[in-house]
Amino acid sequence: MSHAFKQIYNEGGIFGLWRGSTAAIVRAAIGSSAQIATFGKTKELLKAHDLVSHPTLNSFSAGLIAGSVVTLAITPADVITTRLYNQGVDIHGRGIYYNGWLDCIVKILRSEGFYGMYKGFWAIYMRSAPYSTLVLLFFDEFCALREKYNL
């Protein structure tokens, strides 16, 4: 790992270590906002329509739905981020294939169409849906414990 850091630093300086980080920030913002908004609203709807009455099962169901929505929301950002990270750079440190997010989106849509933005969807789903489900379930369970014991 230290060899990789040294090599990246030698080739691109301090900015080489942060190449592509703006894409990751956008991805994280999209994923977190989709997850939190979907989870809260889904829990309310499941309870209001008496679809899932048990609190733990309600949290689990809402977390699974939120994980699915997160995957739909972040897959294009993951595709873009991956391509920006993996592209080579010229002698000035600029990307060889893409000049940033917008250029990457346009080139993917032109050459691969809409579905190009969703390459790797199922791999991302298999990672994101269980993660969201469990994180949100545990969060709700810990909140319930806090309320029960007035912590």
Task: Give per-residue burial for 88-119: e unless 16+ CB within 10 Å, then b.
Answer: eeeeeeebeebeeeeebbeebeeeeeeeebbb
Average pLDDT along the chain: 91
Cβ proximity of 42 and 65 under 8 Å: yes
Structural domain boundaries of the chain?
Answer: 1-149
Q: What is the predicted pLDDT for the residue at 19?
A: 72
- Single pTM value for the model: 0.80
**pLDDT tops 80 at residue 134:** yes
Which residues on neighbouring strands pair with residue 89, listed in sequence order?
95
Does the structure show a pLDDT above 80 at 20?
no
For the record, the structure tokens of 41 come out as 């609203």
The distance of Cα 39 from the centroid of its chain, to the nearest Å, equals 15
1-149: CATH architecture: Alpha/alpha barrel (1.50)
The DSSP-derived string for 83-143 is HHHHS-B-TTS-BSS-SSHHHHHHHHHHHH-GGGGGTTHHHHHHHHHHHHHHHHHHHHHHH
pLDDT of 5 strictly over 90: no
Mean per-residue pLDDT, 113-135: 95
Judge whether residue 23 has pLDDT over 80.
no
